[in-house]
Structure formats: C-alpha cells, structure tokens
C-alpha cells in the first residue's frame, strides 16, 4: 500500500498527471534534464497503451496470426492436426504481456528517480494539486494522497471511449475496447461499429478466431484517415476473408435481448437493415479525459473534448501544459511520447521543433497491415501540388512470395517540382515495420534521387519501397 508522503517529497519541478506513454516518457525525459519529477496515476502504470490499447491488442492479434498460419499450414508443406484454441489462454497471454510492460514502467520510474504518486489528481491552482485516494492498489514505494506542488504541471490524462446515443456500451453485450480485450468466450457473431484502427483491429482478430463479423462505417470509406486506394484494397482483402462491410451506413439503434443484440442499420440508401449478433463493439472514437481535473476553475481552454495547446504543449494558463490524447488528435502513443519530450525540452529552454503532424506515422495491425505517413494522394492534390505517384505490388517482390504474403502494395507520392517525398502508404504483410524508413526519409527532407541511390537489402520487403520510388520516376525494375 502507498506510503504517506514525507514532507520533502511534496514539491517538484515537473509534475505529470497520467502515466500513459505520454506521461511516463515525459517523466523520464524531465528527469534526464535534471528536473525533480513526479508522476500521478490513479489506475495503472503505462496508461491505456500498455494496459488496454496498443500492446494487449497486438498480443491478441499475434495469437490470431499464428492461428491463421496454422490453419494454412498446408500451404507451407506442413501438417497440423486437430487445431483448436483456448480463448482464456489467448487472453491470459495478452494480459501477461501487458503486466510485464506495466511492471517495466515502474522499474523505469525508479531507475530515473521519478516519484510515483498514487491517486486521482485535481489541479487546485497553477503549481498546486490535490491527489485523492484511488480505487486501484498502489505499486510498492508510491507516495499517497495529499497536496503536492510543482512549478510545471503537465496534463497527460489520456482519453476514453466515445459514446454515441443509441449505441451506449453496457459492458456485457455492447462492448468498448475494454471488454473486447478480455472476452470470456469468443462471440459467434459480432458487429463492429466504426472502422478506424481500433474497430478494424478487433474485426480482424475476432474474424480470424472464427466469429462472423460485420463492420458498419458511417463514412464512405473504411479506415477513413488512410489513402483511398489503400483503404479500398484493404476492404477487398477483408471481404475476401469473409468480413462483411457496410460503408455510408449508420447503426441507429441496438435492441438488447437475452440471446443477442439486434441492430437497426440505416444503409444510407433509404433502407433500414436489421442484424442480430452475439456482441457489439462500439469503436466510434475516443474523447479526452478533461473532466474533474480542475480545468474549468483554472480557465484552461478546451475544444471538442480536448485541451487546446500551442506548439510547445502550453495551455493558455501559464505553468499548465497538456500532451497526448487529452491534447487532441492524432490519438496515438508515439505522438503522445513525442509531445511530452517537446514539452519538457521547451520548459528547459532547449527550443525543440514543434510537432509536425504530417510526420506522425499511423499503423493498423490487421491482416493485411496498413501503414502510412504524410499526405494522401487526395490531400496532396487538394493542396494544389503537381505530384508524381509510384506503386509497387507485393506480388512482384521475392521475399513477399517466399513468405506466402503476395497481397498488398507500396505507394509513394512526390512533389513533381522539387522531388520532395510528400507521403507514403502501404498495405500488406509487415508494413508497420517498413513505414519508418519513409518517416526517416521525410524527416530528413529526402528527395527521390537520394532514395533511388540508397541500397536496400535483398531479399526483403523493404525493396518494394525503393521500387515504388523508381516507379514514380518511370524507372521501376522488377515489375
């Protein structure tokens, strides 16, 4: 249980509220910069990312991926007899992965001499917070409830599932990502409302584990933030696998019965369809945790559920900063981490570059995977730029064929005039591991010439990145 704070431990240079990837990375960087640092957490070290988001989903998806390969063992000349799975063991593995990383955050806090304060924080005034007792048990060595002071307070309280009228989650039949992460048994049929990364990853997981899955998306395209060509390709792949997808459609009502949930779906063409399923996952986005932390009293500006910040993560109230999901989209762990580093480096007076949102990669870990950075083709055209587009298919890459993963493609977009790489988009196996090559290239303001003169190892999937660039300049070699 938490110890009562010793009086010398109540005053800090930097105090961070929330220990997600934004908060804990900020704390480490602040400590590296010589600040006396504390982090307040009320629920679980590592936030949503490590406990209920990025990490446990990837662990579930890994089980699904291996299950899929075992089902297709014959394609690789292998025999598997009596293949089955134990849902409880799949979930147990995922929770174990989370727990290991959650413990890792505790270790990192100790290693960097960051004080962990256990409880729910409210900001009373700039420089002053009150921490109330939390329901969750405190990790060993954490400071307890009380009043604390800090010159700089950084809000990193994250986000929670958005709730839409008519499809309110009940935690039993209508799930958010919390319940979807720890199913007691696999549903036979599932409706996923929303086709962003979270919705599509769960659709992919449950479909692979045998559920009949329908995805309903209100916008005309699944994965709405992705390049239209990539999203259309992914859709075809999902549909070929057996996932049913409705776009331009809206779930208007969910009728709960003891043996299932009946959804009314406005098909966007004047008709209403009904669908009865075992479970529904509401994946209609997230909204920032801006309530009950004292923002109204302080006059901190918010906008549509998130805190308004400038390029150095400062709010309109001196001494109060915000980073990560609570500071607005894109709501991604690596964006949260980077914002935290910018924030404390600016406090230190190091003049970091403000966040360039175009340089934030996005990844969806479904099958096939999707990864992107920079402008989509449409966005590039909308800015009025004259562009060159290159593509290269997985079906022409030796490593992809050897892996048995020949579906997908890499797409690059260049400014015709300057040769600047404006965007890169990929769909196919392991593309989430490839995208960083283009992120580095864009960050270094690489041109097509430099990319074409870079040697890529053979045989690798990465060769498709170079070939796509060559294709944009009519010099493709292997297609």
Ligand X SMILES: Cc1cc2nc3c(=O)[nH]c(=O)nc-3n(C[C@H](O)[C@H](O)[C@H](O)COP(=O)(O)OP(=O)(O)OC[C@H]3O[C@@H](n4cnc5c(N)ncnc54)[C@H](O)[C@@H]3O)c2cc1C
> Does residue number 43 form part of the binding site for ligand X (CB under 6 A)?
yes
Q: How far is the CB of 18 from ligand X (least distance, A)?
A: 3
| Count of residues near ligand X by CB under 6 A | 36
Nearer CB in complex with ligand X: 325/345: 325
Determine if 388 is a binding residue for ligand X (CB under 6 A): no
> Which 3-state string (H, E, C) describes 74-97?
HHHCCCCCCCCCCHHHHHHHHHHH
Residue 284 Cβ vs ligand X, minimum distance, rounded to whole Å? 12
Cα separations in angstroms, 364 against 200, 207, 263, 391: 8, 16, 26, 20
Stretch that binds ligand X, among 13-21, 297-305, 376-384, 434-442 (CB under 6 A): 13-21
CB burial class (10 A; 0-12, 13-18, 19+) of residue 15?
buried
293 binds ligand X per the rule CB under 6 A? yes
Kindly state the helix (H) or strand (E) to which residue 470 belongs, with its residue range: helix 463-472
Find the DSSP H helices in 74-189.
87-111, 177-181
Distances, alpha carbon 262 to alpha carbons 61, 169, 214, 279, in Å: 27, 14, 13, 10
Of 224 and 248, the one with the shorter C-beta distance to ligand X is: 224
The one among 14, 15, 38, 57 contacting ligand X by CB under 6 A: 57
Query: For residue 23, what is the DSSP state?
Result: H
Sole binder of ligand X in the list 44, 152, 279, 399 (CB under 6 A):
44
| Of residues 335-354, those binding ligand X (CB under 6 A) | 336
- 41 lies in the binding site for ligand X (CB under 6 A): yes
Stretch that binds ligand X, among 35-43, 222-230, 236-244, 412-420 (CB under 6 A): 35-43
C-alpha span between 152 and 384 (Å, rounded):
42
The residue (of 19 and 37) whose beta carbon lies closer to ligand X is 19
Minimum distance, C-beta of residue 70 to ligand X, in the bound complex (Å): 24
CB of 9 to ligand X, least distance (A): 17
Between 160 and 466, name the residue whose CB sits nearer to ligand X: 160
Considering beta carbons, is residue 183 or 260 the nearer one to ligand X? 183
Phi, psi of 348 (to 5 degrees): -75, -15
Q: In 373-430, which ranges are continuous DSSP H helix?
A: 377-382, 398-403
Q: Which residues contact 223 (CB under 8 A, 6 or more apart)?
A: 195, 196, 197, 200, 230, 231, 234, 364, 370
Report, in Å, the least distance between residue 297 CB and ligand X. 14
Q: Where are the alpha helices (DSSP H) in 8-86?
A: 21-32, 47-52, 54-71
Q: How far is the CB of 24 from ligand X (least distance, A)?
A: 8
Q: Which two tokens stand for residue 286?
A: 């997230």
- For the window 180-199, what string marks contact with ligand X as x by the rule CB under 6 A? ------------------x-
Is the distance from CB of 400 to CB of 368 less than 8 angstroms? Answer: no
Sequence-separated (6 or more) residues with CB below 8 Å from residue 57: 94, 177, 181, 198, 201, 202, 205, 365
Q: Which is nearer to ligand X, 231 or 323 (CB)?
A: 323
Q: Which stretch binds ligand X (CB under 6 A): 47-55, 226-234, 256-264, 449-457?
A: 47-55
Determine which one of 68, 72, 334, 458 is catalytic. Answer: 458
Taking the least distance from each CB to ligand X, the nearer of 20 and 390 is 20
Q: Does 173 bind ligand X (CB under 6 A)?
A: no
Residue 417: left if φ>0, alpha if ψ -120 to 50, beta else—which one? alpha
What is the footprint of ligand X within residues 111-170 (CB under 6 A)? Answer: 120-121, 156-159
* Annotation marks residue 353 as catalytic: no
Figure out which of the listed residues 5, 18, 368, 423 binds ligand X, where binding follows CB under 6 A. 18
Residue 318: helix, strand or coil by DSSP?
Answer: coil
244-246 and 212-216 beta bridge pairing: parallel
**Beta-carbon neighbour count of residue 382 at 10 Å?**
10
Question: Which of 5, 21, 199, 368 is the binder for ligand X (CB under 6 A)?
Answer: 21
Q: Do the beta carbons of residue 386 and residue 418 sit within 8 Å?
A: no
Residues in contact with ligand X, shown as a per-residue x/- string from 300 to 339 under the rule CB under 6 A? ------------------------xx-----xxxx-x---
**Nearer CB in complex with ligand X: 48/373:** 48
Options 28-36, 44-52, 70-78, 343-351: segment touching ligand X (CB under 6 A)? 44-52
> Is residue 109 close enough to count as binding ligand X by CB under 6 A?
no
Contacts of 115 (CB under 8 A, 6+ apart): 9, 12, 37, 38, 39, 109, 143
Comparing CB distances to ligand X, the nearer of 59 and 465 is 59
Residue 61 sits in the site that holds ligand X (CB under 6 A): no
Identify the H or E element spanning 41.
strand 37-41
Site stretch for ligand X (CB under 6 A), options 37-45, 238-246, 262-270, 375-383: 37-45
Give the alpha-carbon dihedral of 233, 236, 241, 242, to 10 degrees: 150
Q: How many C-alpha atoms does 194 have within 13 Å on its Cβ side?
A: 21
Residues that bind ligand X (CB under 6 A): 17-23, 40-44, 47-49, 52-54, 57, 120-121, 156-159, 177, 198, 289, 293, 324-325, 331-334, 336
Catalytic center residues: 458
């Amino acid at each position: 249980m938490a110890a009562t704070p010793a009086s010398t431990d109540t005053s800090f240079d930097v105090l961070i509220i929330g220990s997600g990837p934004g908060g804990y990375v900020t704390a480490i960087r602040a400590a590296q910069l010589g600040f006396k640092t504390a982090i307040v957490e009320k629920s679980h070290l590592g936030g949503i990312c490590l406990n209920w988001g990025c990490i446990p989903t990837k662990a579930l998806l890994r089980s699904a991926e291996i299950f899929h390969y075992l089902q297709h063992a014959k394609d690789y000349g292998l025999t598997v007899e009596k293949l089955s799975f134990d849902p409880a063991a799949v979930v147990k593995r995922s929770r174990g992965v989370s727990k290991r990383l959650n413990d890792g955050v505790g270790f990192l806090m100790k290693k960097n001499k960051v004080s962990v304060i256990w409880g729910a924080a409210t900001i009373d005034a700039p420089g002053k917070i009150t921490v109330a007792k939390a329901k969750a048990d405190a990790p060993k060595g954490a400071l307890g409830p009380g009043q604390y002071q800090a010159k700089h307070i950084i809000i990193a309280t994250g986000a929670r599932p958005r709730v839409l009228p008519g499809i309110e989650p009940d935690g039993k039949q209508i799930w958010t990502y919390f319940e979807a992460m720890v199913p007691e048994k696999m549903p036979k049929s599932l409706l996923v409302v929303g086709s962003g990364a979270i919705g599509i990853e769960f659709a992919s997981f449950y479909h692979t584990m045998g559920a009949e899955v329908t995805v309903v998306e209100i916008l005309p395209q699944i994965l709405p933030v992705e390049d239209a060509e990539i999203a259309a390709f992914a859709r075809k792949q999902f549909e070929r696998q057996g996932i049913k997808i409705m776009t331009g459609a809206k779930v208007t009502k969910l009728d709960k019965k003891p043996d299932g949930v009946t959804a009314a779906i406005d098909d966007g063409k004047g008709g209403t369809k009904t669908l009865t399923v075992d479970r529904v996952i509401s994946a209609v986005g997230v909204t920032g945790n801006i309530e009950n932390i004292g923002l109204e009293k302080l006059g901190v500006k918010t906008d549509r559920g998130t805190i308004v910040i400038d390029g150095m993560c400062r709010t309109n109230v001196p001494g109060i900063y915000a980073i990560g999901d609570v500071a607005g989209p894109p709501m991604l762990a690596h964006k949260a981490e980077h914002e935290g580093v910018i924030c404390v480096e600016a406090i230190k007076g190091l003049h970091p570059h403000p966040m360039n949102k175009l340089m934030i990669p996005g990844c969806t870990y479904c099958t096939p995977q999707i990864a992107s950075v920079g402008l989509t083709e449409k966005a590039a055209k909308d800015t009025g730029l004259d562009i060159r587009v290159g593509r290269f298919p997985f079906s022409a890459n030796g490593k992809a064929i050897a892996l048995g993963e020949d579906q997908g493609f890499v797409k690059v977009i260049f400014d015709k005039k300057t040769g600047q790489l404006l965007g890169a988009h990929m769909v196919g196996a392991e593309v989430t591991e490839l995208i960083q090559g283009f992120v580095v290239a864009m960050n270094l303001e690489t041109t097509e010439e430099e990319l074409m003169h870079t040697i890529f190892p053979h045989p690798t999937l990465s060769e498709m990145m170079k070939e796509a660039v060559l294709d944009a300049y009519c010099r493709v070699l292997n297609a």
